[in-house]
């Protein structure tokens, strides 16, 4: 059994996944994890774990760890409709990344100006057991979290 600390990809207020205003995330359809409500500024979104950048889209990315833990970072809700507007990638799909490395620069004010929610869900892909994800104290209390701090721990 392995325990994987998953880092907050952005700073902001830690949010329980069940409180994300999108049923795909709040009901754990994609997997379980937590979320961060980012500051209303341009921020760098970092790799939450070390591994291979399995998928890179302008608004989301998946990092697969050597232990086969796939972590999805989704920058905002319904942001796929922006076709890349408000996002700048700093790496390429297939690259190896280390936890804390900048993946995408995220223009939060541009997302908010479009009327979209900028919250950042972070989930363990295809995790069907919510008990396998242990939220950090910041998530439990809804307090501020710094990017790079442990958002939750995934057990596999």
Known catalytic membership, residue 59:
no
**Of 74, 77, 104, 147, catalytic:** 74
* Ramachandran class of 95: left when φ > 0, alpha when ψ lies in -120 to 50, beta otherwise: beta
Distance between CA atoms of 16 and 54, rounded to whole angstroms?
Answer: 25
Output the 3-class SS for the chain.
CCEEEEECCCCEEEEEHHHCCCHHHHCCCCEEEEEEECCCCEEEEECCCCEEEEEEECCEEEEECCCCCEEEEECCCCHHHHCCCCEEECCCCCCEECCCCEEEEEEHHHHHHCCCCCCEEEEEECCCCHHHEEECHHHHHCCEECCCCEEEEEEC
Residues catalogued as catalytic: 74
């Amino acid at each position: 059994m392995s325990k994987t600390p998953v880092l907050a990809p952005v700073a902001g207020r830690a949010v329980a996944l069940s409180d994300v205003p999108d049923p795909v995330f709040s009901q754990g359809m994609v997997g379980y994890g937590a979320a961060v409500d980012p500051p209303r500024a341009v921020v760098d979104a970092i790799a939450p774990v070390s591994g291979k950048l399995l998928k890179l889209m302008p608004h989301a990315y998946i990092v697969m760890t050597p232990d086969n833990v796939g972590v999805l970072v989704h920058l905002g809700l319904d942001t796929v409709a922006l076709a890349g507007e408000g996002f700048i990638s700093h790496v390429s799909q297939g690259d190896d990344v280390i936890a804390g490395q900048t993946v995408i620069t995220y223009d939060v004010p541009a997302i908010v100006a479009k009327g979209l929610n900028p919250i950042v869900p972070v989930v363990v892909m295809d995790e069907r057991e919510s008990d396998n994800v242990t939220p950090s104290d910041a998530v439990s209390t809804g307090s501020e979290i710094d990017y790079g701090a442990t958002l939750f721990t995934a057990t596999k």
